Amino acid sequence: MWKLESSSLDVNVLPVEESLYALANGYLGIRGCFEEGYPQEYTSIRGTYINGFYDLIEAKYSEKLFGFPEVQEKMPNLMDAQTMEIYLDGERVSLFNGCHTDYKRALYFDKGYAERSFVYRTQKGKTATVRFRRMVSFQVKELLLIEAEVQYDGEIRIRSIVDGNVSNYTDDFDPRVGEHAQLLDWKSSSLVDEAYMVLKARTKKLDFEVCCGVYHRCSKPEISVVIGGEHEPRMTAEYATSGNITLTKYAAYCDSRCQQEPVEHRVLKIIKEQSYISLEDHLTDQRKYLENFWKHSDIQIFGDDLIQQGVRFSLFQLLQSAGKDGLTNIAAKGLTGEGYEGHYFWDTEIYILPFFQLTQPQIAEKLLTYRHSILDQARNEARTLGHRRGVKYPWRTIAGRECSTFFPAGSAQYHINGDVAYGFIQHYLQHKNLDFICHYGAEVVFETARTWLEIGHFSNGKFMIHSVTGPDEYTCIVNNNYYTNVMARYNMEWAVKLYHILKEERPEALKGIIQRIQMQESEIDEMISAYKNMYLPYDEQRKIHKQDDTFLDKALWDFEGTPEDKYPLLLHYHPLTIYRYQVIKQADTVLAHFLLEDDLEDEIIRNTFDYYEKVTTHDSSLSSCIYGIMASRCGYCEKAYDYFMETVRLDLDNTHGNTKDGLHVANLGGTALSVIFGFAGYRIKDTGISLRPWCPENWSGYEFKLFYRGRQLRVNVTDHLEIELLEGERLEIKVYDKQYGLDSLLKIPLEGMKRND
């Protein structure tokens, strides 16, 4: 199953499919809208986006307190090059007005393009075959190609449009969808060399430029061409012929945010170069790129095609979403929609990065490099928050500014600092790339570690962290959130470790970093004292970790009295009401047990899972994957599988109801993690890697590969575990708490999971 496909048309599902069938390459993204258009009254979010391209909008408050962000960054919807209207003997083709048969669409994960075709019957009873194919190139990141192929015995006209009349989508009734529709001012439209349509726009506030150039290649060179709309924000190229036609549209998008060369120069250069290459040749290149991706990154599921499809869909979309230039990251919705305004969150490090770390370490490093690139903004934000040293990573951002305007569920989530540090540390554990630590990691880990010293304090000999919000946004501004405290402990412990490692192995590099951030030797001592005495709230009676100092003292939410249509709670209850109860939006303490399980007794892990599971709504899409992984850890096989099913189908079945605003990319990452960290029980620690595999009953097995400290391994789980060393030196590996030496191939029988269902 290397594709997503559909052969039914449902008006209500169209906006969801726009997200599912979106194409992107980590730089340029385009939603899966219909080239020939929809009737005016249909809901459609016709979107084209560039990762990291943004403008500023005013942050609005009726009561603004000190340090609240004045502005927010927001990703604009760009000029639209999707439209290719088709007229048959003058009749406009539409799937919603006329008659059609044989409709189908597909997105190919292995080939990297999307296809849509149908047979159209005109009002006069003649039929036409229409097929669109489109791709966003992984090899030339600015490039989008769309091909329209029409077979018809009569007059065919194709009007191919590039439109600068664009705006962002807004929804007054959903706080998760942003405001501010108009971000771009159209600047110019011109026809270059009588062939290239070039549209330029600028962002209203920051004056960033974005340019789109379009060229057409037609299967019938002799047909008449009309190109209109110069000096207007909408340009049209019209191709008219009789009989069959194939029209290929080459569109290139460039922006000025990180490049000096004028955008129209670059656009023209790219479009001129690339339009000499046929779509078929571009598709060949695309397939090669993806072959290489899948070679390392595929997760195979044996015996369940639907799950296999869902998993590959997830991995493909992760690849499509990831910024690969070190200056951009992965937005909460990737490049598939406008939800969360194109902002990056902690999602990257905790939910997505591990997949790339294991299978595409060079992409992982680029994502981490981005975090290093915004250190200065994070320093500024820390000063705004009153900290004399350290950094505060923005809860949500594109270019580094803190963009959360509701701080209890935004800036207060200091754990983002720990999450970013965790990403660097895990990457180091996985690959032991000390150069990368020297250049990027150490500074981030040191700076984030210092911040804990600023916000924490000692009380009765224990290090406490007050007034923060953990991952669970249904419980805000608390003291000693367990998740935050363990992440802080890990952050500081590793700051100290890296300090000593560098002192030993790269003393000059360390000196440079320390000088740059003006860190004192005494701060290392402070960190040691803080992490060694970190307070971790624990309930003796229940033998579980407390989510925070007072979570367990609250009343239980009345789940029985809450009808289905009141979920997600945040859309139906005042935050104060929600805060008052033991009810959580997403994995919090359970997530902490996943990320940092060291030294924990199984009993505590299981008790904690049992307790919080009962009060978790999974209203966030960041929850079910973690509960699934930890269900595996606890031996709850049925649960693990159920949670995995929720995870893998979340967008495909639109279970959260808002896939139209873009895919839940963290959850896509969670799908990959569910197999590797969940079913296979993979963990990486300072002491090495370990597995604790089991196989869901419905499957005959699964397989994935991973890179580890200069090696590549293949892990295959069927009725036994097979680990193959594909490349690199012998290693030690722990399976079910027992140590093995892996020279080339290990076969280990699966331990019957200690089933706890």
Any residues with CB less than 8 A from the CB of 532 and at least 6 apart, and which? none
**Which range touches a second copy (CB under 8 A), out of 7-15, 365-373, 515-523, 570-578?**
570-578
CB of 343 to a second copy, least distance (A): 12
Is residue 677 helix, strand or coil? helix
CB of 640 to a second copy, least distance (A): 33
Backbone phi and psi for residue 556, each to the nearest 5 degrees, phi listed first: -80, 140
Cα(715)–Cα(693) distance, rounded to whole angstroms? 10
Contact status, residue 603 vs residue 650, Cβ threshold 8 Å: no
To the question of whether residue 347 is assigned a binding role by annotation, the answer is yes
Q: Does 222 bind a second copy (CB under 8 A)?
A: no
Among 129, 131, 136, which Cα is nearest to 148's?
A: 131
Contact status, residue 699 vs residue 716, Cβ threshold 8 Å: no
Structure tokens at 12: 């209500």
Beta strands in 75-223 (DSSP E): 84-88, 91-92, 99-108, 113-121, 127-136, 143-152, 155-163, 184-192, 196-203, 209-218
**Which range touches a second copy (CB under 8 A), out of 149-157, 212-220, 279-287, 464-472?**
464-472
Q: Does 404 bind a second copy (CB under 8 A)?
A: yes
Q: Does 580 bind a second copy (CB under 8 A)?
A: yes
Q: Which of residues 406-435 bind a second copy (CB under 8 A)?
A: 406-408, 410-412
CB of 130 to a second copy, least distance (A): 43
Contact status, residue 253 vs residue 78, Cβ threshold 8 Å: yes
Structure tokens at 595: 């990320």
To the question of whether residue 430 is assigned a binding role by annotation, the answer is no
Among residues 3, 269, 542, 554, which is the contact residue for a second copy, using CB under 8 A?
Answer: 554
CB of 201 to a second copy, least distance (A): 24
Contact status, residue 378 vs residue 360, Cβ threshold 8 Å: no
CB nearer to a second copy: give 398 or 706: 398
Between helix 415-431 and helix 361-373 the angle, nearest 10°, is 140
Torsion sign over Cα 576, 581, 587, 592: positive
Q: Does 577 bind a second copy (CB under 8 A)?
A: yes
Q: Does 467 bind a second copy (CB under 8 A)?
A: yes
CB of 600 to a second copy, least distance (A): 25
Contact status, residue 641 vs residue 702, Cβ threshold 8 Å: no
Q: Does 61 bind a second copy (CB under 8 A)?
A: yes
Contact status, residue 684 vs residue 691, Cβ threshold 8 Å: no
Q: Does 549 bind a second copy (CB under 8 A)?
A: yes
Active site residue 443: no
Contact status, residue 352 vs residue 364, Cβ threshold 8 Å: no
Site residue total, a second copy (CB under 8 A): 47
To the question of whether residue 171 is assigned a binding role by annotation, the answer is no
CB of 34 to a second copy, least distance (A): 33
| 209, 338, 402, 473: the active-site residue | 473
CB nearer to a second copy: give 278 or 467: 467
CB nearer to a second copy: give 260 or 541: 541
Q: Does 687 bind a second copy (CB under 8 A)?
A: no
Cα(493)–Cα(495) distance, rounded to whole angstroms? 6
Among residues 139, 278, 550, 698, which is the contact residue for a second copy, using CB under 8 A?
Answer: 550
Which residues are bridge partners to 717 per DSSP? 702, 721
Backbone phi and psi for residue 671, each to the nearest 5 degrees, phi listed first: -65, -45
Q: Which of residues 356-385 bind a second copy (CB under 8 A)?
A: 384-385
Instruction: Report strand pairing: 581-582 vs 555-556.
Output: parallel
Contact status, residue 544 vs residue 607, Cβ threshold 8 Å: yes
Q: How many CB atoms are located within 10 Å of the residue 458 CB?
A: 12
Q: Does 466 bind a second copy (CB under 8 A)?
A: yes
Q: Which of residues 468-507 bind a second copy (CB under 8 A)?
A: 476-477, 479
Any residues with CB less than 8 A from the CB of 710 and at least 6 apart, and which? 431, 728, 729
CB nearer to a second copy: give 462 or 734: 462
Torsion sign over Cα 733, 734, 735, 738: positive
Backbone phi and psi for residue 621, each to the nearest 5 degrees, phi listed first: -80, 5
Q: Which of residues 112-141 bind a second copy (CB under 8 A)?
A: none
CB nearer to a second copy: give 8 or 555: 555
Structure tokens at 18: 């726009």
To the question of whether residue 738 is assigned a binding role by annotation, the answer is no
Among residues 94, 405, 533, 712, which is the contact residue for a second copy, using CB under 8 A?
Answer: 405
Q: Which of residues 159-218 bind a second copy (CB under 8 A)?
A: 175, 179
Among residues 39, 60, 276, 376, which is the contact residue for a second copy, using CB under 8 A?
Answer: 60
Residue type at 502 in one-letter notation: L
Q: Does 63 bind a second copy (CB under 8 A)?
A: yes
CB of 378 to a second copy, least distance (A): 15
CB of 484 to a second copy, least distance (A): 13
CB nearer to a second copy: give 253 or 535: 535
Give the residue numbers annotated as catalytic, written as ranges. Answer: 473
| Binding annotation | 346-347, 585-586
Question: What residue ranges bind a second copy (CB under 8 A)?
Answer: 59-67, 72, 175, 179, 384-386, 404-408, 410-412, 455, 457, 459, 464, 466-467, 476-477, 479, 549-550, 553-555, 570-577, 579-580
Residues at the annotated binding site for substrate? Answer: 346-347, 585-586
